[in-house]
């Protein structure tokens, strides 16, 4: 499989939205409960383009975006400027192919090159595949927040992980 990992463009917003909404509607990979529109993702992409520490990359296979990864602002307080939250989402049909690791590694490297010092991840504890991938990428667990999210009628725990880049 020939995969091109590249910076996201506005033309990718529909695919990014579609992939994210799969997770919104079907998983606890995100605690969002309302699907996002293409316009929401266009605004999000524009916000990310304002700071090189907040890249958005996509995995493109034969012209089709099948996954994306981003580094987002961790906090609006200035002292946290070099800390980011890492997110990676892969189309349901492409999960388990190693794209998540490739995208995550690439987006973290792009952030490091732009001055990111710490990458943080919040992962629902039932999401074993994402926890395993993050650990394989060098993230370490720093704690678990118990019953902080409610989705699909269940209270859910969130594991916090970090990687100094």
In degrees rounded to 5, what are phi and psi of residue 36? -95, 150
What are the residue ranges of helices labelled H in the chain?
13-26, 38-48, 99-113, 128-136
pLDDT in tens, 87-120: 999 999 999 999 999 999 999 999 999 999 999 9
Provide the pLDDT confidence category of residue 16 given band limits of 50, 70 and 90: very high
The tokens describing 136, both together, are 């394989």
The tokens describing 27, both together, are 């998983």
CATH code, 46: 3.40.630.30
pTM of the predicted structure, to 2 decimals = 0.96
- What is the span of the domain harbouring residue 41? 3-164
Q: How many domains does the chain have?
A: 1
d(CA 154, CA 33): 13
pLDDT in tens, 47-56: 999 999 999 9
């Amino acid at each position: 499989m020939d995969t091109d990992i590249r910076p996201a463009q506005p033309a990718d917003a529909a695919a990014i939205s579609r992939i994210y909404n799969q997770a919104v509607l079907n998983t606890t990979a995100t605690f969002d409960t309302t699907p996002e529109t293409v316009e929401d993702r266009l605004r999000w992409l524009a916000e990310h383009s304002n700071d090189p520490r907040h890249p958005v990359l996509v995995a493109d296979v034969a012209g089709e975006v099948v996954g994306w990864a981003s580094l987002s602002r961790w906090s609006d307080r200035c002292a946290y400027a070099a800390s980011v939250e890492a997110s990676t989402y892969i189309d349901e049909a492409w999960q388990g192919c190693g794209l998540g690791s490739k995208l995550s590694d690439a987006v973290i490297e792009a952030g490091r090159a732009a001055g990111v010092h710490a990458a943080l991840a919040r992962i629902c504890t039932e999401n074993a595949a994402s926890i395993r991938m993050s650990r394989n990428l060098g993230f370490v667990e720093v704690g678990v927040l118990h019953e902080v999210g409610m989705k699909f009628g269940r209270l859910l725990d969130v594991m916090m992980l970090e990687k100094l880049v």
